[in-house]
């Protein structure tokens, strides 16, 4: 049975943990506003860039003019390409609820689907890197890893990440590149997103069917513009993904720390009640011993 000293030590340690969780919650709450603002600023640019790429692609369908590097982003390689690429975006740290575990479950499902193939992975976040390094029994290679960028992910990180993704897809043996990340919906809701980033024809780019660019003149010509925009499009999309994941992580951490703070408070109340009951029992026992001794002496 725990002594009074043990219970007091337990209460003291839980109070320390409660202070830490409260501080982490407040830090996440302070950062999430900035992260939300960054997302709202980046989404329109990414969407309009996607529309422009789509329209230019529709205009140039069957007309050629794309450079080999740009044209390869639209190439359907099919079963001839045996390898598959994966970009997994997780957090660098834990203490954010099920944020990382849900991402790793989604990645594990993708790995099971492609376990017979050569797998080439780009890891963003320490949790992603550590998970991939622990895997055994798969023909898996980590091509690139990016860690320590959250919660200060910037366009330079996205540009570097996009460059490595394009280099990965430039390998003729790689048939596709799949992206798995957490999308920020609200402070309470984060959604796991899994889509094929490359080739671009499998993305939402193709087939918008608009002709709004035909009345415009271009300098340089449309093909040259599309050649320049395609790498920037991938960079813009990855920038949005990093910001989405960053905000989702902060929201998940804030919610997890709030729940931990409440649980710590409940645990302290329970331990304090137990301590008071034990003290009361000890006082009652001592009073009974005094009364019994006095009665024995008086008798």
Candidates 159, 157, 133; CA nearest to 147 is 157
Q: Are strands 140-146 and 119-124 parallel, antiparallel or unpaired?
A: parallel
Helices (H), 80-172: 99-113, 126-134, 155-169
Q: Measured between alpha carbons, how far is residue 70 from residues 199, 222, 298 in Å?
A: 11, 13, 105
Is the distance from CB of 138 to CB of 132 less than 8 angstroms?
Answer: no
96: DSSP letter? S
Residues annotated as catalytic (active site), given as ranges: 96
CA atoms lying within 13 Å on the CB side of residue 62? 0
Cα distance between residue 166 and residue 132, in whole Å:
21
Cα distance between residue 250 and residue 28, in whole Å:
5
Is the distance from CB of 242 to CB of 153 less than 8 angstroms?
Answer: yes
Cα distance between residue 257 and residue 97, in whole Å:
8
Structure tokens at 1: 């049975």
Candidates 150, 165, 144; CA nearest to 233 is 165
Is the distance from CB of 274 to CB of 17 less than 8 angstroms?
Answer: no
The sheet that has 119-124: what strands, in order across it? Answer: 140-146, 119-124, 83-89, 174-184, 190-198
């Amino acid at each position: 049975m725990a002594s009074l000293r043990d219970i007091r030590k337990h209460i003291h340690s839980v109070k320390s943990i409660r202070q830490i969780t409260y501080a982490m919650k407040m830090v996440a709450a302070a950062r999430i506003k900035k992260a939300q603002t960054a997302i709202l600023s980046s989404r329109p640019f990414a969407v309009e860039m996607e529309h422009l790429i789509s329209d230019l692609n529709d205009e140039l369908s069957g007309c050629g003019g794309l450079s080999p590097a740009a044209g390869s982003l639209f190439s359907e390689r099919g079963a001839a390409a045996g390898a598959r690429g994966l970009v997994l975006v997780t957090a660098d740290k834990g203490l954010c609820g099920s944020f990382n575990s849900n991402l790793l479950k989604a990645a594990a499902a993708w790995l099971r689907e492609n376990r017979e193939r050569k797998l080439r992975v780009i890891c963003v976040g320490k949790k992603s890197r550590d998970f991939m390094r622990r895997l055994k029994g798969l023909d898996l290679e980590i091509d690139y890893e990016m860690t320590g960028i959250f919660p200060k992910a910037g366009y330079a990180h996205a540009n570097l990440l996009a460059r490595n993704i394009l280099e990965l897809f430039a390998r003729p043996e790689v048939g596709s590149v799949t992206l798995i990340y957490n999308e920020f919906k609200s402070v309470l809701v984060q959604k796991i997103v899994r889509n094929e980033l490359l080739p671009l024809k499998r993305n939402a780019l193709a087939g918008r069917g608009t002709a709004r660019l035909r009345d415009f003149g271009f300098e340089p010509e449309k093909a040259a513009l599309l050649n320049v925009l395609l790498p920037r499009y991938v960079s813009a999309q990855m920038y949005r993904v990093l910001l989405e994941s960053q905000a989702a992580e902060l929201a998940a951490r804030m919610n997890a720390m709030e729940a931990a703070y409440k649980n710590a408070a409940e645990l302290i109340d329970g331990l304090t009640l137990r301590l008071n009951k034990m003290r009361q029992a000890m006082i009652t026992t001592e009073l009974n011993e005094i009364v019994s001794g006095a009665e024995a002496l008086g008798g």
